Amino acid sequence: MDKCTSPTHRLAKETRVTVRMNHALPSAWTISAEGENNPQQATDREAAASCGRSDTDSRSQGHEMHIANQLQELKALVQQMEGTEKALCQATRSCIQAQQARDAASLQAAELSSRLQREEERHQKAQREYEHEMAALRAALFKQNTEHEQVPAGWPPWD
């Protein structure tokens, strides 16, 4: 590069703003501006001075201000992205917790339904056994009473 290239122009070419997301830690963002506080800038100033230019001319300052403003805007955007990322992570956690609670409730309902069905089957079986035993008992009592032909008044009691 020519020694008389303006320091601002050279700074603009050398300054690369990078934003990187650390995939291991999604909430960690890195902002770097290569060229900021770069020792090369001192030699750029010296080269500009030797060519009769000042590092503080209005055009240079305007470019530097523009770069600084863009860097600040970028930092603000990154902060906004971090906030959005945190909100998204919290919403995801809440969604996962709600889904786990729903799954647990569904499992509990299935267990209760199964238990209720077993209880109903057990009750029906007991009811059938009771009715069968009562019918056998009635038949035996009726047979016993009719064999002696002494049927008391109001017998059988279920009539």
Q: Give me the torsion for CA of 116, 118, 123, 129, rounded to 10°.
A: 170
User: What is the per-residue pLDDT across 117-153, written as a single tens digit (0 to 9) for each?
Assistant: 999 999 999 999 999 999 999 998 888 877 766 656 6
- pLDDT interval class at 58 (50, 70, 90): low
Q: Is 122 helix (H, G, I), strand (E, B) or coil?
A: helix
The answer to whether the predicted template modeling score (pTM) of the entire model surpasses 0.75 is no
CB contact set of 52 (below 8 Å; sequence gap of 6+): none
% of residues, the chain, pLDDT over 70: 55
Top-confidence residue, 76 or 51:
76
pLDDT value at position 114? 96
- Residue-range domain boundaries for the chain: 1-148
